[in-house]
Structure 1
Amino acid sequence: MLLTALLDPADLDDALVTPEGRFARHDLLGWAASIAADIAGAPIVAVHATPGAPTIAAITGALLAGVPVVPIPPDAGVLEREHILRDSGAALLLSDVPGEGVPISRAARATTVPAEPVSAAPALVLYTSGTTGKPKGVVVSRAAIAAGLDALAEAWEWTAADTLVHGLPLYHVHGLVLGALGPLRIGGRLIHTGRPTPEAYAQSSGTMYFGVPTVWSRIAGRPAAAKALAPARLLVSGSAPLPATVFRSLAELTGQAPVERYGMTETLITVSARATGDRRPGQVGLPLTGIETRLVDESGAALPADGSTIGQLQVRGTTMFDGYLRGGAVDPAPLTDGWYATGDVATIGPDGWHRIVGRASTDLIKTGGYRVGAGEVEDALLLHPAVREAAVIGMPDPDLGERITAFVVLDGRAVAESDLIAFVAERLAAHKRPRAVRLVGELPRNAMGKVQKTRLKG
């Protein structure tokens, strides 16, 4: 049973709190069951995934009905939206936009819940953008979601006594699978703030808070808001690397270091720090229960877990996706003996702790015969008191192969590019220093706060 807590006969008042109101568990179940009755038998449905209770009810209804559901970002452009609807073959669109599809918000509540679908059935189709081509529909099964949430419940000691607070989008793994389906499986209360602002987080009383690095950076920049989170037992950061400076600021202001974790749409969450134990800046922890990881080189040969060797990260286990949706059929996941090539490069220490260097395509720089992780150079730049943000990439160079190039956002103080190069050279090996520094007003980011390095190369 995927949504175990939602179907628990022991009701919970205010199981869901959003800007639209407060919903008891039985009310959310009746709402979702009413939607399930409307879409029963559909091959696949789409949801206009605005941040709030209607999206949670709509996706819950689809899961109850056993109908695969495709969340569509509310800010998707016309071409992206048309591609998702056409590519997925969605037979219905759940939306509160008048005249657009099947209405989500309604007074009707149903009392009959459909039988539980088989665990191997597809649950979600999440569209994710790669480095080339149009977004691809990642098919994730009910079994994978259940395994992933159960592993996180174990790692984070997440129980029905917890109140989770976040304001993340409801069309990604972080905000939707962890942030919405997590409480519906594990139990407890969910407070979705609509937007993930420092003020909204500070005004919501929770035991767990989810955020992406941009959210945590803004909270750390407002000490009063950060200190309001001190009673919580877990602050979780993911979807992009958390700068060490933000990690340390949060630890100082809240009295606890944040928990970092790693995953992707195709694998869900696979590696995380634990609720009890170490939390290390720049590292994402240990494999979750049911997950194995390894590092390989370009030829596929195994690399040592010595904490310094950088390799391509592969994972396998219970949370892998089924494949990509194409033309109404599912192309099987590209696995080799169960291993999925994440496209990320990482190091693994002798104690099993993982450090994600970045994407192999943009964050592993081959310069002058050396392999340099962009993240290490970025961390060194961020130690400079005038540097607020930094992104490092390799640019083509006729002599070196790739030239280490840093894009830096300053905090308002004037610093010469040559001084920043010298600053890094004092702290890292000479071949790791940037050969060029470009001062910019901001770094290009996507909706989840990830720096879009491919746009820096343009």
Structure 2
Amino acid sequence: MPLLTALHEAADLEAAVTAPDGSLSRHELLDRAGRVAAEIAGAPIVAVDATPSLSTIVAVTGALLAGVPIVPIPPDAGVLERRHILEDSRAALILPDFIPLNPGKSEVSAALVLYTSGTTGAPKGVVISEEAIAADLDALAAAWQWTPDDTLVHGLPLYHVHGLVLGILGPLRLGCRLIHTGRPTPANYAAAAGTMYFGVPTVWSRIAADPTAAKALEPARLLVSGSAPLPPSVFDGLATLTGQSPVERYGMTETLITVSTRADGERRPGQVGTPLPGIATRLADESGAPLPADGETIGHLQVTGPTLLDGYLRDGGVRAPDLVDGWYPTGDVATIAPDGWHRIVGRASTDLIKTGGYRVGAGEVEDALLLHPAVREAAVIGTPHADLGEQITAYVVGDPVTEQELIAFVAERLAAHKRPRRVRHVAELPRNAMGKVQKGLLSSD
């Protein structure tokens, strides 16, 4: 069965795909994508300048029809990042303008190669198969009751899993309408009249701060948040203003989406639900030994199932991922409750703080800080400390409030060892295009 099932089999819909530069019916999209496919047939791999536009959607669709792996390039990529992606992928040409390149030999069988930054080194090309994408979209369709009757609205970048795989390929496989708003502003979301909305926490925070826009989303049946933790205050604000709590989910480029709240199930602030059908998860300690799913113990999250990457692009081929007995080590730390609900603490490298013999999750401290009326945003990291090993250091955006007041505020709500030792006020937190705080850019001096 082809990945883009609805494109081939569903009835034609006028304005099936809408972007800031126009709309296409399914037949029009298939016709334009078919012409792209004919032009690039036989190419080993191609890149696309992934602007939020119909041209990007047509290019990606055409590459999939041709069976040619496609590499999305962020439109805001700097000169060095762009050069690295093109040289590392060995793309033969750049769509949508069919700009020829001089690639080396490339032997890759995949649907997408998505470049993602790790903790060190240049971005790595993650090789994802059609089978993995199909398995993930079908599992999400079941979890979210996603049907052809839906209209999906989002304004997310088209070079990540969230905006591209879920936000573009999802409608083309499942048959629903798609409206890409260009920019994910509260006004654009409010005007779109969708049944499903995708957003990152920054988007939902701005909507929760705009009661008029939030009220306009009340008729929608599903508000989905992902790509970064959603602050409980935003979760509660959306529930109050729209009449429904958002659905949260968890995933990463290498695994696609693996854990989610269900459309017809409970929704808990600060938690991302249970594994999707076909997915299994487990926790391990630093030595790889299993940890209990008791809702309290923080461990390294490992995932297995049909949505895993094929590997990483390397020297024109694919290097298999480093699995642990078939399990993918996500690099994230989490807790799993006895009922299977997951709480993502964050990245092991930045969000698991080892202080004075204790293991503290940064997210728990951030949530406590956000309860203070003067704090609008918070990021917590561990910084070197001669006695404790690491001390808990918080960076906050908000109204003037003393360091000692915030330290005492957290100490009243959490165990004493979880209180920040330092609190620093900043004008803004560094974030990437998906709204994730880039904690590596926070000063540790």
Name the TM-score class by shorter chain.
over 0.9
* Residues 92 and 100, structure 2, Cα contact 8 Å, conserved in 1: no
Please, what TM-score do these two structures have when normalized by structure 1?
0.94
* Residues 23 and 54, structure 2, Cα contact 8 Å, conserved in 1: no
Aligned to 1:25: 26
Matches within 5 A, 1:59-98: 59-96=60-97
Matches within 5 A, 1:12-411: 12-96=13-97, 100=99, 121-410=109-398
Structure 1 runs (4+) greater than 3 angstroms displaced: 99-102
Q: Deviations over 1:384-433 (max 9, x none)?
A: 011000000000001000010000111x3x21110000000000111000
Root-mean-square deviation (CA, aligned residues, Å) is 1.1
Aligned mates of 2:130, 2:112 — CA distance in 1: 8
Aligned to 1:431: 417
TM-aligned CA deviation for residue 95 of structure 1: 3.0
Relative to 1, partners in 2 of residues 1:129 and 1:29: Cα closer, same or farther, differing over 3 Å? same
Q: Which amino acid aligns with 2:7?
A: L
Aligned to 1:110: none
TM-aligned CA deviation for residue 222 of structure 1: 0.6
Aligned mates of 1:457, 1:266 — CA distance in 2: 29
Aligned mates of 1:427, 1:399 — CA distance in 2: 24
Please, what TM-score do these two structures have when normalized by structure 2?
0.97
* Residues 405 and 437, structure 1, Cα contact 8 Å, conserved in 2: yes
Q: Deviations over 1:136-186 (max 9, x none)?
A: 000000000000000000000000110000000000000000000000000
What SS class does the counterpart of residue 396 from structure 2 fall into?
Answer: strand
Q: Which amino acid aligns with 2:145?
A: E
What SS class does the counterpart of residue 448 from structure 1 fall into?
Answer: coil
Aligned mates of 1:243, 1:9 — CA distance in 2: 38
Aligned mates of 1:403, 1:19 — CA distance in 2: 47
Aligned mates of 1:188, 1:284 — CA distance in 2: 24
Aligned mates of 1:9, 1:236 — CA distance in 2: 25
Aligned to 1:445: 431
Task: Give aligned pairs, total.
Answer: 437
Aligned mates of 1:419, 1:337 — CA distance in 2: 48
* Residues 395 and 457, structure 1, Cα contact 8 Å, conserved in 2: no
TM-aligned CA deviation for residue 457 of structure 1: 3.6
Aligned mates of 2:365, 2:10 — CA distance in 1: 53
Q: Which amino acid aligns with 1:28?
A: L
* Residues 93 and 99, structure 2, Cα contact 8 Å, conserved in 1: no
Aligned mates of 1:448, 1:156 — CA distance in 2: 22
Q: Which amino acid aligns with 2:340?
A: G
Q: Which amino acid aligns with 2:216?
A: A
TM-aligned CA deviation for residue 334 of structure 1: 1.3
Aligned mates of 1:77, 1:9 — CA distance in 2: 40
Q: Which amino acid aligns with 2:234?
A: V
Q: Which moved more, 1:4-13 or 1:251-260?
A: 4-13
Aligned mates of 2:144, 2:339 — CA distance in 1: 19
